[in-house]
Structure formats: structure tokens, C-alpha cells
């Protein structure tokens, strides 16, 4: 296998790309070596070497991340999301100005994901240590997301107010695919 075919196969493993698109991307990168390929290689190398996981679960080139280190963020409110993509979706809406906690998944016994596999203990520690007043559960509206939300509410019920934005978020929809206005409206209408 030659280098172009090898690169095409690697690019094709990226979700949503596939082998044919991987080939087109590889050829496009080769045609634009100096303006795109070289800077992309440098950026990917930096991603590999410099990106770290913050205590909140966000990815950044510093720890604490830009959100946790901001002086303008409301420390009394924590938005719990299942993934980095969920964090980015909420940030895009510009409706939330607190801090985040990324669970790195949802409860799914069928897939072998239980309480121990989620980033829940550190959430409880953060709530106790930082005297958090409200936890906003922004999880995907799937069966797993609803089960995870109910579990977290049952664990935290006596220590902090739990709310969730649900108006306008379709059942089973991934937060990353919801437009910013819908997320904003859902935040304003949380229970």
C-alpha cells in the first residue's frame, strides 16, 4: 500500500468521512501542501502534545481550562454534559455563564457503562468543595440520557438544586446537532 492510500484509509476512519472522501481529502491536502498540509500537520502535532483534560472534563491546552480559569464565570452553577460536544453546543448558545462538568458518557448497561465508568464522583466532590447551588443536567434526550439524569438527581437531591432544559430538545437528538436558538430557549425554560 502506498502512502496516499494509507493516508486515505486513515482519513476514512474519521466519522462521517469514509474511504472515498478520505482519498479526496488526501489529494486535496497534497495539492495544497504549503497552505494547508504543513500547517495542519503542525496543528495536529500540537493537539497530540499539548491538549490536556481539565478537572471539569473539558479539553484545552492548559489546566485549568479557559472556562474554569475565567474570573467572569458563575461558580455557583455547574452544567453537566455527557461529552465535550455537549459542552461546545451549550457554549455556542451563549446562554450559560457557569462552569461545566463532562461525564464522558451516559449510563448504558447494555454497553457495559455503569456508574463507575462515568465521571460522577468528581462531580459530587466539586459540588461539596465549591458550594454549588444549582446543577443543570444537559444530557441527550435518549433513554440513556434520561436514565443518567434520573440517577444524578437521585444522588444529588438533598445537596443541590437540579434542573434540566427540556423544552424544544427532541427525544433522542444529540445536542451537537441542535441549533443555538433552541438550546437558548431550552435553557431559559428549564425546570
Note whether 139 and 174 are within 8 A (CB). Answer: no
pTM of the model: 0.81
CATH number at residue 41: 1.10.8
Other Cβ atoms closer than 10 A to 149: 22
Between vectors from CA 127 to CA 144 and to CA 122, what angle results, nearest 5°? Answer: 60
Q: Is 36:26 a contact under the CB 8 Å cutoff? A: no
Residue 59 lies in a domain: no
| Residue 152 pLDDT exceeds 70 | yes
Percent of the chain past pLDDT 70, that is, above it, reads 86
Instruction: Find which of 29-38, 167-176, 178-187 is predicted with most confidence, using mean pLDDT.
Output: 29-38
Count how many domains the chain has: 2
Region 150-157: mean pLDDT is 91
Q: Domain containing 166: what range?
A: 73-188
Tell me, yes or no, whether 30 lies in a domain.
yes
State pLDDT tens for residues 125-147.
Answer: 888 888 899 999 998 878 898 89
**What 8-state DSSP symbol labels residue 108?**
B
Region 59-63 average pLDDT:
94
- Residue 79 forms beta bridges with which residues? 100, 136
Q: Are residues 38 and 80 in the same domain?
A: no
* Alpha-carbon gap, residue 101 to 55, rounded angstroms: 8
Regarding whether 115 and 38 lie in a shared domain, the answer is no
**Shared-domain flag, residues 41 and 77:** no
Helix then strand then coil, % of the chain, to nearest 5: 50, 15, 35
Q: Is the domain of 46 the same as that of 77?
A: no
Q: What local confidence, expressed as pLDDT, does residue 185 receive?
A: 65
* Contacts of the segment 25-29: beta carbons below 8 A, 24+ positions apart: none
Amino acid at each position: 500500500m502506498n502512502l496516499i492510500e494509507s493516508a486515505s484509509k486513515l482519513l476514512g476512519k474519521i466519522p462521517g468521512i469514509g474511504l472515498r472522501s478520505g482519498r479526496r481529502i488526501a489529494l486535496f491536502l497534497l495539492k495544497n501542501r504549503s497552505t494547508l498540509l504543513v500547517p495542519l500537520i503542525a496543528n495536529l502535532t500540537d493537539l497530540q502534545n499539548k491538549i490536556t483534560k481539565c478537572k471539569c472534563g473539558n479539553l484545552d491546552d492548559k489546566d485549568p481550562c479557559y472556562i474554569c480559569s475565567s474570573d467572569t464565570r458563575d461558580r455557583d452553577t455547574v452544567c453537566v454534559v455527557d461529552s465535550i460536544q455537549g459542552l461546545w453546543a451549550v457554549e455556542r448558545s451563549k446562554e450559560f455563564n457557569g462552569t461545566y462538568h463532562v461525564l464522558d458518557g451516559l449510563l448504558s448497561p447494555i454497553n457495559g457503562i455503569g456508574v463507575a465508568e462515568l465521571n460522577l464522583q468528581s462531580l459530587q466532590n466539586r459540588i461539596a468543595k465549591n458550594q454549588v447551588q444549582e446543577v443543570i443536567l444537559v444530557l441527550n434526550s435518549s433513554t440513556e440520557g434520561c436514565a443518567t439524569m434520573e440517577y444524578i438527581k437521585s444522588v444529588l437531591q438533598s445537596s443541590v438544586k437540579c434542573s434540566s432544559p427540556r423544552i424544544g430538545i427532541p427525544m433522542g437528538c444529540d445536542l451537537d446537532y441542535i441549533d443555538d436558538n433552541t438550546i437558548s430557549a431550552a435553557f431559559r425554560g428549564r425546570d
